[in-house]
Structure 1
């Protein structure tokens, strides 16, 4: 089996990192895997893993005819049997490229919090949560499976103590400080609300807690978050919030943390380091991962929706009070999280499920006429999406990540 994997971009981010690491893992199971895309920061990781990289043309719009043509050419040249797109633009381009290739199937993975309604229903789809898969089945999609964000436990291995100490010294974190680390893209959609709440809350925590918040990452909300951090530090009269920027290797940050704040793949990577995990969401949602909350996250993913943004600070403060005051709780939930990630979220297990998904998709590949019909049925939904996007842009309400702005979990809470 030969696969071309097409992440939505190669900047730092959970979906694209999953795409690369799973590609390397299926390669280790005997699959010929190649990465296709525009060059970015994650090319370093591609090279580390020994994967072949094929540069894509720069798209002017999505889906891009030039990208579709290049994908089709790469598939023909390499004899690829699977074109695997992550998130909707690459997924559509893989679908279109495979439509005219008799022996090649296009498949998709969506790690966003909802699925674009114009993604053709005949395209095999993997999503990150059981809740999203259930919503897609209800909407009429037959070939949908779940592949939760995996963790490369060999890569995310224990960090030497001297490296941890060096990291804390680098950011002037004392040995008695309680360090909360958040490794995240600084995106306005989905993530900024929780980070801003955490920043403002940190300034109000009792000084005796000695809490420090370190945010690792970069993105469109950088300036807003920088200003909030400056305000928090001024209010506290000392440095309580530090922005580390984007780190090519965030492993020492996880290892140096006393607790981790996060969602999605970043949250799961924290578990590999036996750290207490505070899952961040929207509308004031913060929840400690423990035996009671774990089943909820298995269903809806590593994210949640609260009832009121204004309650976020109180929710986070209550969790931190519990952790800071009870070191034994930190050890217990940290050990539980490590056991959980080893048993349920290992990269090796995910690779086996991914190969099974490829095999199933190849067996069920629809005819060219069926694929054309499926694409035609998706066109009205795509036209509505483009129309609405232009209207939002005209009224100054454009978003950079449309399908993280309306999570399935939030829609169900609203209902």
Structure 2
């Protein structure tokens, strides 16, 4: 079968689950014989994905952050021509319009990936849309049409795997006793504005909830290890210091961002996680307690698996008492035998559904099916006109907003 020439476009340079998954897929596709170039919107970040990209064998091609819709499309089109790409795959729904404009009337195809908790339909139905959960896929087929595909996030089972020796070293390095109950949470620690939260996955609430639970009456004498960094780190560090002061011990351990968090996962008795990190917890054979927004927390188990397959490894349904709910979940994981049972079951689950090689095979099949569509030139031209018009109207509306406010204030 003919190898494909693929361009991946990351929405930024921040280290996180989505760019890691993208780079893992890119590495696997390249190992299968495809040509892959990885681009990213340039930005200033606290913790960069660049080292991970370099470890994966990719030098990221930078696209200026302030280029705008048409400017981004020009950069993407130039890179696509230089590498003679067949597919331009953007890993953020908001980049979809730029990808469509970049492909223009050429034979290459744009593919938009959305691994958020909500669908965002930013392009026309002739653009392939890839989503990450069963629920989003059903909605996408109903709204976007037949060019909607399901690709559950992958995990590299060769890298993320049980490793007792690495876990022991991590515990020793961070002063964690062999007999202590260790809860590990690996995440970007970002404080999102209300506008950002509407288009992303708020992780800070779950992190703060985990710390609050340690202070509650009846809480286990556990150690909570937080691995990560980001714009919310100052708030997290202040809360961690307060929790440690009130308990009179180092209950919360902050490691900062780790280039390789594998030993942290391996050291966990229980993994607290959401999104791609949840898959890595299970890949390490550890029981998973899924965190979300609004105080959501729930154990991943045979009884809850269907919920998470439909909604993703996250949640927004607020319990009446979030702290009490989290403690009740942890209480179910007190017994080592139960933790081992759920850890083994979770590892079997990710091996069956989320393996990186199978994910890359499925993605290549999506590309080939997308390339097989023979849209007429006038249909592509209509898409270009429609998306450009939407952008112009959006910019005019944004400019008119302050003017309307000014008139209202002076009238």
Normalised to the residue count of structure 2, the TM-score between the two structures is 0.87
For residue 47 of structure 1, the aligned residue among 46, 54, 61 is 54
In the other structure, the counterpart of 1:265 is 276
Native 8 Å contact 1:108 1:126 kept in 2: yes
1:48: how far off?
Answer: 2.5
1:231: how far off?
Answer: 2.0
Structure 2 unaligned runs (5+)? 192-196, 406-411
Structure 1 unaligned runs (5+)? 396-415
Matches within 5 A, 1:232-251: 232-251=243-262
In the other structure, the counterpart of 2:325 is 315
For the pair 1:70 / 2:75, whether they are aligned, the reply is yes
Native 8 Å contact 2:39 2:63 kept in 1: no
Count of aligned pairs between the two proteins: 387
In the other structure, the counterpart of 2:92 is 87
Partner Cα distance (2:182, 2:400) in 1? 43
Partner Cα distance (2:233, 2:396) in 1? 27
Q: CA RMSD in A?
A: 2.5
For residue 280 of structure 1, the aligned residue among 285, 291, 297 is 291
Native 8 Å contact 1:203 1:240 kept in 2: no
1:80: how far off?
Answer: 0.8
For residue 144 of structure 1, the aligned residue among 138, 141, 148 is 148
1:321: how far off?
Answer: 1.3
In the other structure, the counterpart of 1:302 is 313
In the other structure, the counterpart of 1:58 is 64
Q: Deviations over 1:202-246 (max 9, x none)?
A: 122647x32011111112222222222122112212111122211
In the other structure, the counterpart of 2:16 is 13
Relative to structure 1, the CA distance from residue 391 to residue 121 in structure 2 (aligned partners, 3 Å threshold; closer, same or farther) is farther
For residue 181 of structure 2, the aligned residue among 166, 178, 183 is 178
Matches within 5 A, 1:128-139: 128-139=132-143
Relative to structure 1, the CA distance from residue 273 to residue 292 in structure 2 (aligned partners, 3 Å threshold; closer, same or farther) is same
Q: Deviations over 1:392-413 (max 9, x none)?
A: 9xx9xxxxxxxxxxxxxxxxxx
Q: Deviations over 1:240-264 (max 9, x none)?
A: 1122211111101100010001111
For the pair 1:342 / 2:356, whether they are aligned, the reply is no
In the other structure, the counterpart of 2:214 is 202
Specify the SS of the correspondent of 2:290. Answer: strand
In the other structure, the counterpart of 1:413 is none
Specify the SS of the correspondent of 2:338. Answer: helix
Native 8 Å contact 1:263 1:302 kept in 2: yes
1:388: how far off?
Answer: 7.3
Q: Deviations over 1:154-203 (max 9, x none)?
A: 11133351x32221122221222111111111133421111111111112
Relative to structure 1, the CA distance from residue 311 to residue 367 in structure 2 (aligned partners, 3 Å threshold; closer, same or farther) is farther
Relative to structure 1, the CA distance from residue 224 to residue 380 in structure 2 (aligned partners, 3 Å threshold; closer, same or farther) is farther
In the other structure, the counterpart of 1:401 is none
Partner Cα distance (1:248, 1:390) in 2? 45
Relative to structure 1, the CA distance from residue 114 to residue 159 in structure 2 (aligned partners, 3 Å threshold; closer, same or farther) is same
Partner Cα distance (1:352, 1:26) in 2? 8
Partner Cα distance (2:167, 2:233) in 1? 26
Bigger shift: residues 326-335 or 190-199 = 190-199
Normalised to the residue count of structure 1, the TM-score between the two structures is 0.86
